[in-house]
Amino acid sequence: MPAAGKDTVPAKRLPTLEDVAARAGVSRATASRVVNADPRVGNLARTAVQEAIEQLGYRPNRNARSLVRPEADSIAVVVPEAEQTVFSDPFFAALLAAITQSLADSPVQVLLAMGQPGNSQKIERYLRGGYTDGAIVVSHHKDDHIWQVLHATKLPAVYVGRPYAGDVGIPYVDVDNRAGGTLAAEHLISTGRRRIGTITGPLDMAASEDRMLGWQQALQQAGLAADLMEHGDFTASSGALAMQRLLNRVPELDGLFVASDLMAVSAIHELQAAGRRVPEEVAVVGFDNTQAAQLTRPPLTTVVNPVGALASTAVEMLLKLLGGSQVEERVILGTELIQRASA
């Protein structure tokens, strides 16, 4: 095999608008008009150009186009640094799949901008610079400041998950975490549980806070104590530890709402290790309805987190924004409880 390096064979040059025009016997301007569906062009010329495009397999050069136009035909999916660890698996993959799916028919490309420890400038530089028409930001953390860049740039953007910072003037779509927490607690109450605890996510995330508040509200409304609370960070091990602490404090616990399925599975193992039967002695409700909920024993009763709908709604909103339409400041998706065997 010959030495490596730049190819010497000048990869056959792609057809340009000039080529199309020449072949169709018109000027570049006319060809451009056809490509951009400008009505001011004769039928004869139009079909000639269209044929030429077909025969040459012409595609407009995106770079040249966005050099002279404001559009870039690309959107960025931004995952701030702080989320890296949290969005381990299921949520993120589903999100990306749904996003690309929603964009399948458009020429828009998806650019992935994941934050790195100590490197948010790379993302910011990209967001400025005008290489992208809009952004979908996946963020729930307190210390995310991407929104400031978006704000300064006036770049159309949509958050998936309520920004913790509050109303930052950027629309978002989220699941009704608070209602979900209430749903879980009410289910536990309705099955006769009276000493109901919760394992929350980290409280610097809006979702954690909301789920906890929903749980709290339901208990208070039922006249039950709402102080049986321990905090995790959405990882499995943190769920186990929180469970140990809670069980230590409240041996008579008979109901439990865990803010994520992953932590819930760990918590159930911990309960079983401590000799508690689930659901007979302690009923457990999770949150997310990930695959883990179905695969664990007993199968987990849990609150649905509709990731697919979140993603497609975000795309829909962003596309509206790009089209110049208004969108609601916030879209909150409903949720429901799926009853399995754990509660």
Partner DNA sequence: CTGTTAGCGCGTTCAT
Partner DNA sequence: ATGAACGCGCTAACAG
> Footprint of its own copies on this chain (CB under 8 A)?
1, 4-7, 9, 11, 14, 59, 61-64, 66-67, 70, 72, 77, 84, 87-90, 92-94, 96-97, 100-101, 104, 107, 109-114, 116, 119, 122, 125-126, 128-131, 153-154, 236, 262, 265-266, 269, 272, 291-292, 294-297, 324-326
CB of 44 to DNA, least distance (A): 5
Contact between residue 228 and residue 198 where contact means Cβ atoms under 8 Å apart: yes
Q: Report how far Cα 30 is from the mean position of its chain's Cα atoms.
A: 42
- Residue 134, SS3 per DSSP: strand
Which of DNA, its own copies, none does residue 266 bind (CB under 5 to 8 Å by kind)? its own copies
CB of 6 to DNA, least distance (A): 11
Does residue 22 belong to the site contacting DNA (CB under 7 A)? no
Nearest to 190 by CA among 159, 219, 229, 152: 219
- Total residues contacting DNA (rule CB under 7 A)? 30
Which of its own copies, DNA, none does residue 154 bind (CB under 5 to 8 Å by kind)? its own copies
DSSP symbol at 155: -
CB of 294 to its own copies, least distance (A): 7
β-strand pairing of 337-338 with 301-304: antiparallel
- Of 11, 37, 67, 104, which lies in the binding site for DNA, with binding defined by CB under 7 A? 67
- Of 3, 8, 52, 61, which lies in the binding site for DNA, with binding defined by CB under 7 A? 61
CB of 53 to DNA, least distance (A): 10
CB of 17 to DNA, least distance (A): 3
Which of its own copies, DNA, none does residue 262 bind (CB under 5 to 8 Å by kind)? its own copies
The dihedrals phi and psi of 221, each to the nearest 5 degrees, come to -60, -30
Contact between residue 280 and residue 324 where contact means Cβ atoms under 8 Å apart: no
Q: Which residue has the tokens 């749980």?
A: 215
CA distance 266 to 263: 5
Does residue 16 belong to the site contacting DNA (CB under 7 A)? yes
CB of 54 to DNA, least distance (A): 15
Does residue 320 belong to the site contacting DNA (CB under 7 A)? no
Q: Which helix (H) or strand (E) holds 137?
A: strand 134-138
Does residue 68 belong to the site contacting DNA (CB under 7 A)? yes
CA distance 30 to 25: 10
User: DSSP readout, 173-213?
Assistant: EEE-HHHHHHHHHHHHHHTT--SEEEEE--TTBHHHHHHHH
Q: Which is nearer to its own copies, 37 or 104 (CB)?
A: 104
Residues 6+ apart with CB under 8 A from 169: 151
User: DSSP readout, 286-337?
Assistant: EEE--HHHHHSSSPPEEEE--HHHHHHHHHHHHHHHHTT----SEEEE---E
Which of DNA, its own copies, none does residue 7 bind (CB under 5 to 8 Å by kind)? its own copies
CB of 21 to DNA, least distance (A): 7
CB of 106 to DNA, least distance (A): 16
Interface with DNA (CB under 7 A): 13-14, 16-18, 25-30, 32-33, 35-36, 39-42, 44-46, 58, 60-61, 64-65, 67-69
